[in-house]
Amino acid sequence: MSREACAVGWDARMNGERAGTADDDSSLVARFLRGDSAAFDTLFLRYQDYVYHIIYGIVGSAEEARDLTQEVFLQVYRALPGFRQGARFATWLYRIAVNRAVDAARGARRWRFLPLLDEPSLAQRAAAPEDEPAYRFERDEERSAVQRVLMRCPLQHREVLALRYYRGLSLEEMAETLGCSVTAAKVRLHRARKVFKDNYLAAHGTDAPEELATENADVAQTTR
Amino acid sequence: MWPKQHAEEAPASCAWTQDRLLGYLDGDLAPRETQRLRAHLDGCPACQQELALCRKSERLLATALSTAPPAGDLRSGFYARLAASSPSPRRAARSGWIAASALAGVILVTVLFVPRFHPSSRSAAVVTAIPLPSAPIADRRRDLAFFLAALPSPAPVASRSEPHVSEPRSAAARYTAARIAHRLPGRARWQAAFRRAPLTLARADRLQPPGTHATETIDVVQREAKTRNQVALLTAKTVPENTPTARLIPADDEVDFSVRDDVRGFTAGSHVSSLPAAPNGDHVLIIEEKSDSLPASAGDRSRSAD
């Protein structure tokens, strides 16, 4: 995996854990289990953005991602007494986040099959007050271009892409989080990127070749 | 991870090339593979375009993190939720299970033995077949308080002795659930809330005397559909004050919408809960009735109840 292909920053790793220090994850977990609630606060602050971004990459809604992030930490708070010492807290946390996000996204997908008796028109949605979040997360224009394509991808690919591009995990960390081998993680990531590329083309339709036309010269140079 | 090249001297095909474009961009190909791929690209506009597409797609992916909306302040919300839940994780889990079991018992007994239920309607049994939440009781109390606070203006109520199926509920009552849900901060959130647990239907007009409240179990259906085996809107009947009330969980495991793109396409015999949009933009909780639960049409049921 080249460095260029991983512009999310392989080198600038965003590991929350500071191994070997007094406030590394395992020390904080141990302190929390001894009744030090400030330790959990430190863990929360350390990981909230990471968890949020992973979830956002999967569910595609900032509002829902914030909500689910809090739920994940509640779940973690309650489950920490059963946390296996020696396991990596971050991996465990990310796994919970991925599961929760996938469940939520699955649920959202189911809702879409429901009979929408009188779905509010686009005009009605556009007229909704700014502070009314009811339909806000569904507005495509509020999603980034990458999210619009990502939301077209099946969930099993989205979770891999979220871990890689929204959290910047290495293949080893992804494998640990997903509970598979590094080779399997690599294959899954490769497939997911291909699916993303296909959906990128599908999302842009006939515009894509025109946009790409200007790049061909560059490509030709690169290939020489 | 790439298949071995069997005919190394043969010109690469488009399929061979396109299968390796991402690996090529990653620098993962062996030098010989790279050479072969480049040789093909030189004379193949289609694969050049595919490579350009890969580059563009990868560039877009690389913007993922930087274009994501910020998380904002999640800490205060988390601690608010934590404070609203039980103080001890273990106690919370224990009390949650106890509460869920008690709730299941209450609802089961209510549904099976309370004579107010119309004999021809077994839809309530379908409702109670949905697994109950295991959320801590403190969560439910908090939710209930929240829902009660969010109730709309009073709506007409049928008397307890009145056969519940004989009087179609007002739109206000029917959409109580929706209004409650809409007060939650975001559609996504109430969807999550429904999945997680729960909705307690409560009627503002039962809020008497002031300071007390009555909640209502969900049992009555008012069918919107014209034919049998269709979706029913849920309304409520009153249960004693402060009794843990029926909460429906649209249990994911039991819901399969995969073949249901239309109300009429619902499979008889199974049940679902959902949140379609109502004409006023609100949403209601709906549930499907079993095929054998309604021997007569909605109109017939109303007449027989009279």
pLDDT of residue B115: 36
Q: List pLDDT tens digits, range B164-208.
A: 332 333 333 333 333 333 333 333 333 333 332 233 333 222 233
Is residue B223 within a helix (H) or strand (E), and if so which, with residue range?
strand B215-223
Residue bearing the bigger pLDDT, B202 or A109: A109
Closest among B37, B5, B42 to B21, alpha carbons compared:
B37
Helices B75-84 and A62-79 cross at an angle (nearest 10°) of: 50
Is residue B219 within a helix (H) or strand (E), and if so which, with residue range?
strand B215-223
A206: which residues sit within 8 A by CB, 6+ positions away? none
Cross-chain residue pair A216–B186, CB shorter than 8 Å = no
For residue A100, CA distances in Å to A76, B132, B196, B230, B269 come to 12, 19, 11, 31, 30
Considering only residues 15 to 34 of chain B, which have any Cβ-Cβ distance to chain A shorter than 8 Å? 22-23, 25-28
Q: Inform me whether the C-beta atom of residue B193 falls under 8 Å from chain A C-beta atoms.
A: no
Structural domain span for residue A68: 25-111+131-210
The domain that contains A176 carries what CATH number? 1.10.1740.10
Cross-chain residue pair A115–B262, CB shorter than 8 Å = yes
Cross-chain residue pair A200–B72, CB shorter than 8 Å = no
Lowest mean pLDDT segment, chosen from A84-98, A136-150, A183-197: A136-150
Q: Which of B22, B57, B182 is nearest residue A134 as measured by Cβ atoms?
A: B182
What are the domain boundaries of chain B?
14-62, 88-305
CA atoms of B290 and B293, how far apart (whole Å): 5
pLDDT of residue B103: 56
Lowest mean pLDDT segment, chosen from A104-108, A177-181, B64-68: A104-108
CB B215 within 8 A of CB B245: yes
pLDDT of residue A195: 94
Asked if residue A66 belongs to a domain, the reply is: yes
Q: Which of B52, B57, B90 is nearest residue A216 as measured by Cβ atoms?
A: B52
A208 contacts on B by Cβ (under 8 Å): 53, 56
State the pLDDT confidence band at B228, using cuts at 50, 70 and 90. Answer: very low
pLDDT of residue B48: 92
If one counts the domains in chain A, the total is 1
Which residue does chain B place closest to A147, by CA atoms?
B64
State the pLDDT confidence band at B301, using cuts at 50, 70 and 90. Answer: very low
Which residue does chain A place closest to B276, by CA atoms?
A116
CA atoms of B217 and B200, how far apart (whole Å): 7
Most confident of A118-127, B3-12, B61-70, B104-113: B61-70
Cross-chain residue pair A133–B186, CB shorter than 8 Å = yes
B182 contacts on A by Cβ (under 8 Å): 134
A73 contacts on B by Cβ (under 8 Å): 74, 78
A98: which residues sit within 8 A by CB, 6+ positions away? A54, A58, A159, A162, A163, A177, A178
B280: which residues sit within 8 A by CB, 6+ positions away? B171, B175
pLDDT of residue B77: 85
pLDDT of residue A148: 87
Q: List pLDDT tens digits, range B86-99.
A: 554 444 445 455 55
Is residue A186 within a helix (H) or strand (E), and if so which, with residue range?
helix A182-204
Question: Min CA distance, A179 vs chain B (Å)?
Answer: 19
Asked if residue A8 belongs to a domain, the reply is: no
pLDDT of residue B105: 54
Handedness of CA A219, A224, B5, B6 (dihedral sign): positive
Q: List pLDDT tens digits, range A53-66.
A: 999 999 988 888 99
Predicted ipTM > 0.90? no
DSSP state of B3: P
Task: Work out the average pLDDT over B21-26.
Answer: 92
Q: What are the tokens at A185?
A: 């993680």
Q: List pLDDT tens digits, range A163-209.
A: 999 999 999 999 999 999 999 999 999 999 999 999 988 887 545 44
Predicted TM-score (pTM) of the model is: 0.52
Which residue does chain B place closest to A183, by CA atoms?
B1
CB B184 within 8 A of CB A134: no
Residue bearing the bigger pLDDT, B98 or B37: B37
Asked if residue A29 belongs to a domain, the reply is: yes
